[in-house]
Chains A and B, each alone.
Chain A
Amino acid sequence: MLAGMHPLERLLNLVALLLETKRPLTYEEIGTTLGAYDQDDPASAKRQFERDKDTLRQIGIPIEVVSTDAWEVDQAYRIPKERYELPDISFTPDEVAALFVAAHAAGEEGEAAQAFRKLALGAESGMLAALSGQAAPTGIDASGPHLPRIAEGVSGHRRLRFRYRPAEGEEGDREVDAWGLVFRRGAWYLIGGDRDRKEPRAFRLSRITSEVKDIGGGDAPPEGFRAGDHLSAGPWGVGEPDTTARVAFSPKVAWWALAGIPGSRTLETRPDGWTEADVPAAAGESFVSWVLSFGPDAVVLAPDPVRRTVVAALERVRASG
């Protein structure tokens, strides 16, 4: 083969050779077999080989390195097939279509799209062609710059450092052992062990104001850790339910009021057109705030303590100003 062969050609041959070889091959053996890395300057030839290995690793190809002598001077290389090949995962056509939507929801030709192509290999070819012919109409707002780094951290239980601006209080530095991610109402939260406060805390990614630094291995989460348990309810929802409230809604809002509230149950539409429903509710302010967002189009019928809290809040509004 010619020394001036195309880089892509050389790399394809290198992958094939290291995949199929029965035993690990040394740099010299690889060069001789491929007819590559034979520049006049041995140092630059070796550098090219090192760059090629980096390229392979960059696209996820595992290279096994073994020593060929007891002094570990000479090394030999191979690609273990069982770690190179993607195992077959059989997806239904519906699952392939759903993954396609997910892979392209952010718009750009990114890593998710590349992952999809590898996974969808076994799907009917006509189906993939039909899917990829149409632009995905279902978009999702970008998850912000910190998500990939934080997800890396969670997947390896790493310790992360960043600056954080809490909803209440001063901005400051945080050191957190990354344990889990929660996605709620369009926002990502990191749940992890706060090193200073010595307890699990939730951090909204959009409030991180610096780069996220990986500063080493972190502690593992405690036994039975569940990420969802450590995020208090946002003030714009019904809150973590600990009771059930009966609420009546006017016809103007009844048809959409409960759509975003899991676990709610519509009971009856009264002769006056209002609809009564049971809503899982937190006794605290979050539920009251939600009911009040409907103004005079919603009224709490029971239980009494919740009714009293609503009335007290309304009295405060009337008195203020």
Chain B
Amino acid sequence: MPPARTAERLGRMLAVVPYVVRHPGVHVSELSRLFGVPDDELVADLHLLLMTGLPPYTPGDLVEVDVDDEGHVWIRMADHFSRPVRLTHAEALALYLRGSELLGAPGLPEAEALRSALDKIAAVLGPEALGALTVAVEDPGQGGPLGAVRRAVEASESIEIDYYSATRDQLTTRRVDPEQLFSALGNWYAVAWDHDADAERLFRVDRMKEVRPTGRSFQPRGLLGRGRELYTTSEQDIRVRLQLAPRARWVAEYYMVDDAAERNGTVEVSLPTKDLAWVAKLVLRLGGEVHVLEPPELADLSRRLADDTLALYR
């Protein structure tokens, strides 16, 4: 058995034992689910535990492990392992940072409970486990109908949504099968099968004006969630090329851009897109800090948008 596996199995056993002591008669299948390990491996480790104990290792000094015919587990004579080992530094940091990331995602229903749980961890384990770690999480605001979408994902239920697409500047009603929900760049995204487009789509949850349950369940197609690109390039993409002045350079980082090139303090980038409507708004918000290299329609569209907006100030 390689050393890494030994450490992992030992660490797991030292957590399993206190759990069984605390929950006598717990089922093997519950343990294997909870500890992420196959039933047979868990039972094998329990059998090894049976051979251990305290000196002088007479039968009365050994740990007693009972697994009955139905798979219920009892452990006795293991007072020395009745508490779990403290969190390692890495474990405490990992959980604390993950929790902080979730607190920084908008509108999470568990936010309040999560905050108080992290506070308790910091208060009890603080200096030893987290050291001088200070984490500030910026208030992410509201997140749209996150709860309703999450219920649909959990139940694999189709929903009908009123959705505002910023790329096309349109509000449409669509029937979708949401499979995954993930947070990226401070927004929640639902990965769903869109029945109206008959294709996979990403939907920003805060752009769903309304979510209506349909009562119909769907068979998940195994769509990819967390870690995917937020934009998928395609053949129909329009080639947009922008020259960004220093104050507009953030665009190169915030959006997915191609072949960025430095030129006399400016950056030239290509932006793959299927629609010009949102790029025109981007040009507008950069207020002259950007020069449209191509296509010419984009420059026209931006100027028209500026005219329409200026009209509101007259």
- Please report A residues at the B interface, Cβ cutoff 8 Å: 1, 5-9, 11-13, 15-17, 19-20, 33, 51, 55-56, 58-61, 83-87, 89, 91-92, 94-99, 101-103, 105-107, 109-119, 121-122, 125, 128-129, 132-134, 137-143, 147-148, 151-152, 154-157, 167-168, 179-187, 206-207, 226-228, 234-236, 252-253, 255-256, 259-262, 285, 288-290, 292-296, 299, 307, 310-321
Contacts and interface: CB of A to CB of B under 8 A. Distances in A.
A225 to B, nearest CB: 8
A-B CB proximity, top 5 nearest: A316-B288, A313-B287, A155-B131, A185-B186, A139-B226
B102 A184 contact: no
Interface of B: 1, 3, 6-7, 9-11, 13-15, 18-19, 22-23, 26, 30, 33-36, 45, 48-49, 51-55, 57, 80-81, 83-95, 97-106, 108, 110-111, 113-114, 116-117, 120-121, 124-125, 130-144, 150, 153-154, 164, 169, 171, 180-187, 206-207, 209, 225-227, 246-247, 249-250, 253-254, 280-288, 290-292, 299-300, 302-303, 305-313
A138 B226 CA distance: 9
Contacts of B110: 94, 97-98, 101
Query: SS class of chain A's interface: helix, strand, loop or mixed?
Result: helix
Nearest to A313: B287
Contacts of B84: 85-86, 117-118, 121
B227 to A, nearest CB: 6
Contacts of B3: 51, 55
28 contacts: A16-B54, A20-B80, A60-B91, A84-B83, A89-B124, A101-B102, A102-B95, A105-B101, A118-B15, A125-B26, A129-B34, A138-B182, A138-B183, A139-B180, A140-B183, A143-B101, A167-B249, A168-B246, A186-B185, A256-B207, A259-B206, A260-B106, A262-B139, A285-B247, A314-B287, A317-B302, A317-B305, A321-B299
Nearest to B82: A85
Contacts of B26: 125
A106 B113 contact: no
A152 B91 CA distance: 11
A255 B182 CA distance: 22
B271 to A, nearest CB: 15
B54 A17 contact: yes
Given A1-B57, A128-B34, A181-B133, A259 B83 contact: no
A228 B132 contact: no
Contacts of A91: 117, 120
A141 B182 contact: yes
Nearest to A180: B134
Contacts of B308: 295-296
Nearest to B310: A314
B121 A119 contact: yes
Most buried by A among B11, B52, B116, B181: B52
